[in-house]
Amino acid sequence: MRKEIQKILLSESEVRDRITTLATTINKRYEGQELVVVMLLKGAIIFTADICRHLEMPLQIECLNVASYHGGTESSGQVEFLDRKLPDLAGKNVLLVDDILDTGLTLSAVSREVQALGVNSLKTCVLLAKNKTRTEEVNADYVGFEIENEFVVGYGLDYQGLYRNLPYIGILNVENL
Ligand code: PRP
């Protein structure tokens, strides 16, 4: 393990197994229907790539580039849309996929934008949800793991742009960087 990682919170195999069961639930929900997955860059890249390989319905993958942490450990409180390039989603079943639900600002801002496009249905899926009171009252429909309020990296999650490539979710040793 790297010295910057204090503890492995979720191992590679725990993440892999949970993604498989999450995908089974999502497959049942959308059986016989088409789905558009909208992943939120950049944190959701790895989670989306892995879960989508287990989804069985006709699937379209789109991305939306939003940021609120700007590399640090605390949300700036402002969700910045770095682009809004989405196709016409009117009448579509949309699943927003993100790596982590923390304050809830990102998911609620993006949900509002997507809902306004006249979608047929909108659901949300996150790999991690922090167990805390959120700034925005928002819950994800599909959650991989509930975690305590700790700063985690790996499997798509970064600190100052780094650590997204770690195959596990780890707690960062902020004193040892
Ligand atoms: C992170 C993460 C989520 C969001 C969650 O994104 O990927 O999108 O913050 O936090 P919230 O619930 O408090 O809004 P970040 O701004 O770090 O951008 P990134 O995905 O490019 O890392």
pLDDT per residue rounded down to tens, the chain (177 residues) = 788 899 999 999 999 999 999 999 999 999 999 999 999 999 999 999 999 999 999 999 999 998 887 767 777 777 888 877 788 999 999 999 999 999 999 999 999 999 999 999 999 999 999 998 877 788 899 999 999 999 999 999 999 999 999 999 999 987 767
Instruction: Say yes or no: CB of residue 42 within 6 Å of ligand 1.
Output: yes
- List domains and CATH numbers for the chain: 13-149 (3.40.50.2020)
Identify whether 130 is preceded by a cis peptide bond (ω within 30 of 0): no
Residue nearest to atom 22 of ligand 1 (CA): 43
Enumerate the active-site residues: 102
Find, among 142, 147, 126, the residue nearest to 10 by Cα. Answer: 147
Centre of ligand 1 to C-alpha 32, Å, is 32
Contacts of 88 (CB under 8 A, 6+ apart): 117
Residue nearest to atom 13 of ligand 1 (CA): 103
Centre of ligand 1 to C-alpha 105, Å, is 9
Query: What is the phi-psi region of residue 167: left when phi exceeds 0, alpha when psi lies from -120 to 50, beta otherwise?
Result: alpha
pTM (two decimals): 0.94
Centre of ligand 1 to C-alpha 60, Å, is 22
User: Quick one: which H or E segment has residue 62?
Assistant: strand 59-67
Question: Ligand 1: which atom is nearest the Cα of residue 138?
Answer: 12
